[in-house]
Amino acid sequence: MSKKNKIFWIVSWPKSGNTLLRAIIASLFFTEDGKFEDFSIFTNTINQFERIERLNFIKKENPEDYENISKIEILSKYWLDMQSKGLKITGDFCFLKTHSALLSMFNNQFTNKQNTMGFFYIVRDPRDVAISYAKHLNVDIDTSIKRMINTDTCFEYPGRKDFNNKIKPLGIQSSWAIHLKSWQMFEVPNLILKYEDIVYEKEIVLKKIINFFKNHFNIKFSNVSNKIENIVNTTSFEKMRNLENKIGFKESVQNKSFFQVGKKLQWKEKLQLSQIKLIEKHFKKEMNNLDYL
Domains, the chain, with CATH or none: 6-289 (3.40.50.300)
Distance between CA atoms of 198 and 6, rounded to whole angstroms? 25
So what's the pLDDT on residue 160? Answer: 65
pLDDT of residue 84: 85
The sheet with strand 116-123 has its strands ordered as: 93-98, 6-12, 116-123, 190-194
| Residues 6 or more apart whose Cβ sits within 8 Å of residue 82 | 49, 54, 55
pTM over 0.85: yes
Q: How far apart are CA 93 and CA 45, in angstroms?
A: 11
pLDDT mean by block of 10 residues, the chain; 293 residues? 76 93 92 84 86 90 93 96 80 90 96 96 97 92 97 87 72 97 97 95 96 95 92 83 65 53 82 97 97 95
Q: What are phi and psi of 249, to 5 degrees?
A: -145, 115
Q: Phi and psi (nearest 5°) for 257?
A: -65, 135
| 277 contacts: CB under 8 Å, gap ≥ 6 | none
Say which DSSP state 48 is in.
B
Please give the sequence-ordered ranges of beta strands (E in DSSP) within the chain, or none if there are none: 6-12, 93-98, 104-105, 108-109, 116-123, 154-156, 170-172, 190-194
- Predicted pLDDT of residue 1: 46
User: Are the C-beta atoms of residues 264 and 196 closer than 8 Å to each other?
Assistant: yes
Q: What backbone phi and psi angles, to 5 degrees, belong to 221?
A: -115, 140
In this structure, the number of other CB atoms found within 10 A of the CB of residue 185 comes to 8
